[in-house]
Each structure stands twice: as structure tokens, then as C-alpha cells.
Amino acid sequence: MLETMGKVEEIIALNDNDKERLIQILLELQKEFRWLSREVLERVGKKLDVPINHIYSLVTFYSHFSLVPKGRHVMSVCVGTACHVRGAERLLDSVASAVKCKPGCTTSDEKFSLDTVNCLGACALGPVMVADGEYMSNPTPDEISRKVESCE
Amino acid sequence: MSEVAIRINTPEELESLRDKVISARDPDATVVSVCTGPGCLAYKSHLVAENIEAELEKHGLADKVRVSRTGCHGFCERGPSVVILPRQTCYLRVKPEDAEEIVKTTLVEGGVVERLLYEGSDGVKIELEQEIPFYKHQDKVVFGVNKYIDPMQMDDYLAGGGYRALAKALTKMTPKEVTEEVTKSGLRGRGGAGFPTGRKWDATSRVEADQRYVIVNADEGDPGAYMDRGILEGNPHSVIEGLMIAGYAVGSTEGYIYVRQEYPLAIDHVLYAIDVLRGMGLLGENILGSGFDFDIKVHKGAGAFVSGESSALMSAIEGRVGEPRPKYIRTSVSGLRGKPSSLNNVETMANVPLIIDRGADWYAAMGTEGSKGTKIFSLVGKVLNTGLVEVPMGTTLKQIVFDIGGGMRGGKKFKGVQTGGPSGGVIPEAQLDLPVDFDQLASAGSMMGSGGMIIMDEDTCMVDVARYFLDFLADESCGKCVPCREGIRQLVVVLKRITAGEGREGDIALVEDIAEMMKDSALCGLGQSAPNPVLSTLKYFRDEYIAHIEEERCPAGVCKPLIAYWIDPDKCIGCQKCAKECPVDAISGEKKEPHTIDMEKCTKCDTCFRVCPTKVQAVTKITRAEAEKLGAPRQVEEAGA
Ligand SMILES: Cc1cc2nc3c(=O)[nH]c(=O)nc-3n(C[C@H](O)[C@H](O)[C@H](O)COP(=O)(O)O)c2cc1C
Ligand code: FES
Ligand code: FES
């Protein structure tokens, strides 16, 4: 906890304690911890003298922030238009059943998170997903289960 | 990294630096341009570059041949793309293990690696990039330089004439003259609405204030478009130079670049470029001795489509929730921090240095009466050649889809093209001869938008496409105004009903009513244009809606509740491929005997349909009515799904 708060203070200081940079600070905290805990957000509020409800309005508005811990393995399925017309929904269903969790959720053992994203800039490969950083172009259910099984 | 670290105090010093950079480079020297744009990186093009460097080292060519890691070349479909300059030999689908052969055959022996060349559907191979049909029909004024530029090398941008336009603007033109030149060029904003850029700058500069702001919109929210990413990632200096010229024209000393956090590479490249510029004194005080002070900050967007709207984007930069506000007062009067602010799209900005450098007349000679210059499109979907393409305004859809895009994949039939993203519409086959510009697209019921062009074939369901966009917008509406929040929600309810085969009589009229209401009363562009996809598909593909509602049939075979999978016993050869791949074990049958699908178990994942050998095609999509005749249970969409 102490360590966490030290990091929070460090990130705020690097942003010159500037209230206007609140979203930038939250992005850096999200990157650091992969989620934003109540304690972290309260500390940010206190340091920057911003009411906690204001901070919550931000973190619930923007899709990138997570208020629960993310899984150790992140599966991102592109649901951009180009991928949609090439069958992204089907791919999403397959991945959801392979990791046993719904889009936008994390498994209870915090092993997997399943996210949807809009356009990965790889439309030519569509439908495309990124499994732990590895791009997969139109994988079969079989390939998906193999990938999922290979995750520790 | 050989970066220029000297301070540049005058235009003369800039020119002499440029001369030094150019003369240090042999124009005939070989450069291997390896695309490290998003599509190619996904296929490990960074390893291609690494391996080529290692092979060059082995052959003692490391000093003679330079490997340049560039942004997107355009032809992402066939990436990784490697172009050998100056000859322009173009290798496609290059794998890291191809490096050895490329270096040996081409760079050592001067030959060509035939198997990596472009091969057309007629089997003819083409060596030179500019002769490949995908590139041949383009006019890459803005985007063409990407392959010459390593975004982490200031030298590359300078060698191509970089910051010459800035020097010209700062020292030979007044701010007013700069604005007038841009107005005269006819440049219209590439971010969606097509507002004349010069007029926007003029309005901003006229407001009395102690500070004004200029901002680049790199939020690129259209899901399925990545032109802005291609420019910013590949050629960040072009956008920065445009922003600086804008700053000078409107009388601003502080610029912002708002980039979505999903583009980390673009952010890195921009931050690096800014650092280099500060080191050279090209950002900061008294730039090029002209008395003009300017600096740039980067703001990362945290993922909200609506934050790409101008007033919302400015709120977000202030650290507040990025929601639009009513515009009785324009942002050009009261924008960021209440000061006059001018916001422009990435591509708009990248056009500016070209206009100042080569003149408004040169620019205005390209394009149509009302839309000048070129436009970059993200040509994606069911088309054969997907990628980023740049054509003069006024090029017809047919030229883009067929000459450049090569037509449909798998010999399918073209059905329509979606432009303008969630705010746009679908244009049908009958209008393929439409010249693409701001006004023509609008009159066809769509819009230019930022440049997404999603090609659809006979297997695309237009009702599903409309539902898709509304679903997207339902998530993205900020909820501040009722017409948008509730209107989109109701449209989604009705469209989901239709795609589930539960559509009712009167649903089409209901959709049209809600749509009209939203157009007239929503607060910002998101809500006002949200009905466009459904209205345009209703206009051109009404019969598909009717088939869903009256016949419970999805003509394209997309809407899951309305289709079932069935194996034609007369065609099935019993190869067992589908049975092996089926994730729910719904397929049974003996080897070499016809197989059957248990429709109760089947989740309609489409796997069997895709793995059934193309020569056999025994797996067939049938309609709900046909399935019920065969005894399948009626599937009802999960409530709230
Ligand atoms: C909901 C919504 C989202 C938008 N998203 C973007 C975007 O991602 N990128 C962009 O350049 N413009 C976007 N725009 C348009 C901007 O409001 C603005 O018109 C544009 O950035 C101005 O630049 P331009 O004149 O160079 O086109 C959006 C507009 C709306 C209503
Ligand atoms: S839409 Fe999926 S990568 Fe572009
Ligand atoms: S990403 Fe390499 S060609 Fe587009």
C-alpha cells in the first residue's frame, strides 16, 4: 500500500500537481496498476484538491479506465466496422466461450479479461484480435482454445 | 540515431542545414524502406527490419545500404511491405525469414526475388511499386512521402523540404496572408464536416483575446478508419508544421495535439518530434528569428467517441469530462479555457505545409469545384485490396473500389459502401459512378466523415450494419441530451427486434419518426447524425428490412436468429472437417458418409460453414422457416443482449 501511494504521489508530481492534467494522471495510474482502486482515486483527489465525485465522473465516462482489477491475460477483440462486416461478432462469441467470461469482464480468478476495441489499424487482417499482445487474424475456435490453454 | 542537435536561428540556417543533410546523402544510395505501420507490425515487420540489417552486416553492406523503419505504406492487405529505393522494387507479405534472400538476391546481386512480388489475379508479377494497380491509380500528395520517412529521423523530413513552409510563412507572409492563402486553396476540414479551414482560422484570429489556441484532433473515433494514425505515426512533423503555421495565422502561442491513448506509437513519435524541435529552437521563443513564440502540448484521450467533437475535446483538455456543450457561442470565440480556439483534424493539418510551400493555386487545381485537394481513405471491409488510399477529390467510387481496391474478395457481388462512420451512410451499387467529394456524398445521403470506406458485399446485412452503428453510438452517447440518449436507445430496441425476426408492422415508420426527431433536436453532431446509417440503409435497402419483418428472413444470412446451418446430404463427402472443428460437438456422422447438424446444440458460430471445402460446399445457411420445417427449435434473442 505504501509503495502504491508513493507511486501515486510520484506520478502526480511528475505532472506538476496540475489539476488540468487529471485525465493524464489517471491514464498513467491505470497503466501502472492496470486498474484504479478507491484508495488510489481518493489520494489523487486529496493531492489535487478535486472532489472524489468529479474523479468518478471521469473514470466512469472514459472507457479506458477500469475500477476492478484486470486479468493477467487480456484478450482484445476488435469490433470496428471493418472487422464487424467480416464476422467480429462471431469471433467475440468464440473467445467469450473459450475464456468463459463476457465482453468487458474479468474472470473471477483474475486470469482473463475480455475487452472489445474499435479498430486496431489492422483491418486488412479482420476479424482480428490481440491475445496478450499477439495479433491473431480470423482464428478458428480451435486456435483460440489452444491460445487460451497456453496461458498460465 | 543521428539527430540534428544544433540550434537553428534563421531561415538561412535552416536552409544550410537542409543542404548539409541532402549533400551528405547519395541520391542513388539504396534505402530499404520497411513498413512498421500497425498492419505490418502485426505481421512482425520489426523483425523483418532487424533481420535485413543483420544480413547487410554479414555481407559488409551495412555502411552502404540504410534500413528505414517507416509508417504505413498503404497496401496493408499485403503487408509487411518492403520497398527498395530509389528503384522502388516492392516486396509484399515479407516474412522475417525472407531477409536473407532479399539481401543476397537484390542488394548484393542486383536481382529480384520473384516470389515476393505483387501478383495480380491474372498471375502477372509486378516489380515496381508505382505500377501495382493498387498504387497506380492513386495520387499520393500527402501520404506518399511516408515511405521515405523514418518518423524518428528529423533528417528525413528536412531532406524532403520540411519546415520550408513554416519559414516562408513566418518570414515572408503576415498571419493574414497565411490565412488568405489557405482560404484561397479551398482546403476544407478532413475531420468530418468539411468546414473551410481558412474561414475557421480567420474567425478565430478576429476575436480580441490575450491568448488563442490551436488544436489538432487526433482522436480518430470512427471505428474502422486509421488514416490519421497513418499520418501521425508515419509523418508526425507534417502535422506539427501545419499546427505551427495555424498558430502563427490565428495568433496563438500554444498548440495542443489531442491523441487517443490507443495510438501509443503515434504519441511516442509526436513527443519525440517535439523534443527534437525544442532542441533546435524550432519550438520555443522567437522561432527562426521571426519573433513568433510557440510550443506544443500533447493530451491523451482516454477513450470516448464523443470527445472527438470540438467543444467536448476542449473540455477534455481542461481535465473535465469530454462532453459537448451547446454552441450558441462557437469555439472559435470561446473554446479551450474560454479563449478563441481553432481545432483541425490531423489530415487537414498535414495539407497546410504543402499549400503554403507550393501555393494555393497549385492546390486548388486538384479536386472538384467545392472540394479541393486529395482525400485519404481507409479502404476496408470485403474489398480485395484493403489499405490506406489517397485520391484527388472527385474520383468515383467505382475507381476506388474496383481500380484500386481490385473489386470484391472471393468473387462476391458488390453491395454497398459505407462512408462517414457512425455519422454516415451506405451508398448502393447504383451510385458507383458518384464522384467522391463533400457535397456529392452528402447529397447521396451519406457524408465524407473522416474517410472510412467500408466495402460491403452480398453477404453483408444492411439492417445489421445499421444496428451495429446504433449499438456503437448507444455506448458512446454522453447522455446529456434526451433526444440522443433516448432516441438511440429506442432505435436500438427496434432494430434488435427486427434483426431477431420479431419486427412488427409499423416499425419502419417508427424508426423514421425517431430519426427525424433526433436530427432536429439533438445537442451535438453525434445525436444529429446518429440516424444517418439507418436512414440511408432504409432509403436504398428497404426490401431487406421488409424481408426481416414480414418474412422473418435475413437475405444476407447474417442475423443469427433468422438462419440455421444445414448439411446438404447430396453434397457432403463425409470428410469430417466440420465435425472436428465444431466447438460444441453438434455435428455427427460416419467417415465418408453424409453428416448432420444437431440444430438444438448448434450455436451458429459459422465454423462448419467456413471449414467445409470450397469444392464441396455442403454446409448451407437456411432460413428460419426452412429450419423449422426440419424441426429446429425457434431461437429467441436473449432479453437485453
Ligand atoms: C461525435 C463526434 C465525434 C467526432 N470525432 C472526430 C474525430 O475523431 N476526429 C476528427 O478529426 N474530428 C472529429 N469530429 C469533428 C470535430 O468536431 C471537428 O469538426 C473537426 O475536428 C474539425 O477539424 P476540421 O475542420 O479540420 O475537419 C467529431 C465530431 C463529432 C460530432
Ligand atoms: S476495424 Fe478491426 S482492425 Fe480496423
Ligand atoms: S501498415 Fe504496412 S502497409 Fe499499412
From B439, B457, B475, the end of a domain falls on B457
Does the pLDDT value for residue B2 go beyond 60? no
pLDDT (average), residues B487-501: 96
Q: What are the DSSP calls for B251-266, one per residue?
A: T-SEEEEEEETT-HHH
Report pLDDT for B437: 95
Minimum distance, in Å, between the CA of residue B180 and any CA atom of chain A: 34
pLDDT tens-place string over residues B90-116: 999 999 999 999 999 999 999 999 999
Same domain, B128 and B37: yes
**β-strand B66-70 against A134-137: which pairing, if any?**
unpaired
Q: Which residues of B touch A121 (CB under 8 A)?
A: 37-39, 226, 229-230
CB of B78 sitting under 6 A from ligand 3: no
Does the pLDDT value for residue B255 go beyond 70? yes
Same domain, B77 and B220: no
Same domain, B388 and B302: no
pLDDT (average), residues B266-293: 97
d(CA A113, CA A127): 19
Inter-residue contact B357 to B161 (CB < 8 Å): yes
Report pLDDT for B637: 52
Nine-digit cell at B258? 489531442
pLDDT (average), residues B234-246: 98
Residue to substitute from B261, B265, B558, interface A, most A β-carbons within 10 A: B261
Strand partners, B596: B588
Same domain, B124 and B268: no
Number of domains chain B is built from:
5
Q: How far is the CA of A120 from the centre of ligand 2 (A)?
A: 5
Checking ipTM against 0.85, whether it exceeds it is: yes
Does B637 lie at the interface with A, CB-CB under 8 angstroms? no
Interface contacts A/B by beta carbons within 8 Å: 134
CB of B227 sitting under 6 A from ligand 3: no
Inter-residue contact B133 to B404 (CB < 8 Å): yes
B207 in a structural domain: yes
Same domain, B585 and B512: no
Helix/strand/coil (H/E/C) assignment for every residue in B585-622: CCEECCCCCCCEECCCCCCCCCHHHHHCCCCCCCEEEE
Q: Which residues of A touch B321 (CB under 8 A)?
A: 57-58, 61
Does the pLDDT value for residue B605 go beyond 90? no
pLDDT (average), residues B290-307: 95
Report pLDDT for B114: 96
d(CA B159, CA B168): 17
Strand partners, B408: B383
Amino acid in the structure at residue B67 = V
From B89, B115, B148, the end of a domain falls on B148
**How far are the Cα atoms of B116, B120, B129, B407 from residue B124, in angstroms, in the given order?**
13, 6, 14, 17
Instruction: Read off the CATH number of the domain in which B596 is found.
Output: 3.30.70.20
Does the pLDDT value for residue B611 go beyond 70? yes
**How far are the Cα atoms of B117, B444, B607 from residue B193, in angstroms, in the given order?**
40, 15, 41
Return the DSSP state at A34. Answer: S
Instruction: Find, among B153, B355, B350, the residue nearest to B238 by Cα.
Output: B350
pLDDT tens-place string over residues B342-400: 999 999 999 999 999 999 999 999 999 999 999 999 999 999 999 999 999 999 999 99
Closest ligand relative to B387 C-alpha: 3
pLDDT (average), residues B454-466: 95
Q: Which domain holds residue B255?
A: 161-364
Does the pLDDT value for residue B119 go beyond 60? yes
Minimum distance, in Å, between the CA of residue B566 and any CA atom of chain A: 18
Say which residues have a Cβ less than 8 Å from residue A125's Cβ, sequence separation at least 6.
A135, A137, A138, B39, B42
Instruction: Read off the CATH number of the domain in which B507 is found.
Output: 1.20.1440.230
Report pLDDT for B633: 73
- Helix, strand, coil shares of chain B, percent, nearest 5, are 45, 15, 40
B57 in a structural domain: yes
Same domain, B171 and B283: yes
Q: What percent of chain B has pLDDT over 70?
A: 98
Q: Which residues of B touch A80 (CB under 8 A)?
A: 223-224
d(CA B303, CA A117): 10
More confident site: B192 or B248: B248
B171 in a structural domain: yes
The band of B3, judged by pLDDT with boundaries at 50, 70 and 90, is low
Using CA coordinates, name the residue in chain B closest to A21: B319
When CB atoms are compared, the residue of B300, B320, B460 closest to A27 is B300
Minimum distance, in Å, between the CA of residue B42 and any CA atom of chain A: 6
Instruction: Read off the CATH number of the domain in which B440 is found.
Output: 3.10.20.600
Closest ligand relative to B39 C-alpha: 3
The band of B4, judged by pLDDT with boundaries at 50, 70 and 90, is low
pLDDT (average), residues B198-218: 97
Q: Selecting from 3.40.30.10, 2.40.30.10, 3.30.1330.100, 3.40.190.10, what CATH number does the domain A73-149 have?
A: 3.40.30.10
B598 in a structural domain: yes
Does the pLDDT value for residue B218 go beyond 50? yes
Locus of grid cell 505532472: A15
Report pLDDT for B495: 97
pLDDT (average), residues B435-440: 95
Same domain, B44 and B172: no
B600 in a structural domain: yes
Instruction: Read off the CATH number of the domain in which B211 is found.
Output: 3.40.50.11540
Inter-residue contact B394 to B370 (CB < 8 Å): no
Report pLDDT for B641: 36
Amino acid in the structure at residue B307 = S
Does B224 lie at the interface with A, CB-CB under 8 angstroms? yes
Instruction: Find, among B438, B448, B447, B436, the residue nearest to B535 by Cα.
Output: B447
Q: What number of CA atoms fall less than 13 Å from residue B641's CA on the CB side? A: 13
pLDDT tens-place string over residues B144-164: 999 999 999 999 999 999 999
Same domain, B188 and B329: yes
Does the pLDDT value for residue B443 go beyond 50? yes
Same domain, B428 and B333: no
Among B232, B343, B469, B485, say which to mutate for ligand 1: greatest number of ligand atoms within 8 Å of CB: B343
Q: How many CB atoms lie within 10 A of CB A16?
A: 9
B17 in a structural domain: no
Minimum distance, in Å, between the CA of residue A85 and any CA atom of chain B: 6
The band of B639, judged by pLDDT with boundaries at 50, 70 and 90, is very low
Report pLDDT for B192: 83
B15 in a structural domain: no
Q: Do A94 and B261 touch (CB under 8 A)?
A: no
The model's pTM: 0.94
CB of B38 sitting under 6 A from ligand 3: yes
Among B195, B217, B375, B438, say which to mutate for ligand 1: greatest number of ligand atoms within 8 Å of CB: B217
Among A76, A115, A116, A123, say which to mutate for ligand 2: greatest number of ligand atoms within 8 Å of CB: A123
Helix (H, G, I), strand (E, B) or coil at A80: coil
Instruction: Find, among B527, B160, B228, B182, the residue nearest to B388 by Cα.
Output: B228
B238 in a structural domain: yes
CB of A130 sitting under 6 A from ligand 2: no
Across A41-55, B262-276, B383-397, B622-636, least confident range: B622-636
Q: What are the DSSP calls for B408-447, one per residue?
A: BGGGPPEEEEEESGGG-EEEEGGGTT-B-SHHHHHHTT--
Same domain, B231 and B380: no
Across A17-21, B197-201, B447-451, least confident range: B447-451
**Per-residue pLDDT in tens (0 to 9) along chain A, 152 residues:** 778 899 999 999 999 999 999 999 999 999 999 899 999 999 999 999 999 999 999 999 998 899 988 899 999 999 999 999 999 998 999 999 999 999 989 999 999 999 998 888 788 888 999 998 888 988 988 899 999 999 88
CB of B89 sitting under 6 A from ligand 3: no
Ligand 1 pocket, CB under 6 A: B 189-193, 195, 217, 219-221, 305-306, 308-310, 343-345, 348, 450, 524-526
Q: Which residues of B touch A82 (CB under 8 A)?
A: 224, 378, 380-381, 386, 454
Inter-residue contact A38 to A73 (CB < 8 Å): no
pLDDT (average), residues B190-219: 96
What's the N-to-C CA distance of chain A in angstroms? 26
- How far does CA A116 lie from the centroid of its chain? 9
What is chain B's mean pLDDT, rounded? 94
Q: Domain ranges in chain A? A: 2-61, 73-149
Q: Do B224 and A63 touch (CB under 8 A)?
A: no
From B116, B148, B180, the end of a domain falls on B148
Inter-residue contact B619 to B612 (CB < 8 Å): yes
Q: Which atom of ligand 3 is nearest to the CA of B75?
A: 3
Minimum distance, in Å, between the CA of residue A139 and any CA atom of chain B: 10
